[in-house]
A and B are shown apart, each in its own frame.
Chain A
Amino acid sequence: MPVYPEALEYAAMGLVPAGAYRNRDFRLFMVDFAPTVNRILQDVLFDPQTSGGLLICVAPDRAADLLNVLKAKGIQDAAMVGEVIAEPKERIIVE
């Protein structure tokens, strides 16, 4: 997940919107964080401010092509951020 370094700095200072805490309360029960994902990064991931990000779902065999096209069109920060897996059901695993 591409993150502005300054976002982590400000989150560490407590500049976290109230909505981030509400998002956390709402979804935490279904999220498994790896130990490497510290609390600051967790809060940034729960942040409701999306900076206009767009999440695209695509079949796995098309993903690399899509990424190349996006980058060729000048969207340098386009990234593959995850995959949908069959098991475990209804869990969001963040590593």
Chain B
Amino acid sequence: MTSELDCRGLACPAPVLQTKQMIEKENPSEIRVIVDNQAAKENVSRFLGSQKFDVSAEQKGADFHVTGKRGIGAATAEPPVAIQPDSEKQKIMVMIATDRMGLCYDTLGKLLIITFIKTLAEMGDELWRLVFVNNGV
């Protein structure tokens, strides 16, 4: 069965992260990811390659369909790269007190804080608390 993921309209690194999550959750033998920009096509292709999929990509209209297939014996492929739990696990609290990252470039800063928050989940168990205060709410 082919798992399909529609990542159109998503900016990097979201397509790669969503692909990673789907592989972790469903462990599909075949996956198709639809993206709408060249960078996402390249990144998703590269990610699937790093996860031992045979990758092909084709353009369909304004979109790209990236397909990954796992060959025979690939079931034993290593699980997607995850941060290895240390023996002494850290507890990390992230406190967000503003709605933008950095100063001066507000448009960029607002985009960056959203991307930052979206990628926090990749910290896994080490992420202990998320605290929003003041303008971060």
Footprint of B on A, CB under 8 Å? Answer: 9, 12-18, 20-22
Contacting pair B50 A16 (CB below 8 A): no
Q: How far is the CB of A27 from chain B (nearest CB, A)?
A: 16
Q: How many of chain B's residues touch chain A, expressed as a range?
A: 10 to 19
Nearest A residue to B39 via CB reads A18
Contacting pair B42 A16 (CB below 8 A): yes
For the residues of B in contact with A, the DSSP-based class is helix
Contacting pair A17 B81 (CB below 8 A): no
Among A9, A14, A17, A22, which residue has the most Cβ atoms of chain B within 10 A? A14
Measured between beta carbons, the chain B residues less than 8 angstroms from A15 are 12-13, 16, 43, 47
Nearest A residue to B43 via CB reads A14
Q: How far is the CB of B123 from chain A (nearest CB, A)?
A: 14
| A12-B46, A12-B50 given; A17·B38 CB < 8 A | no
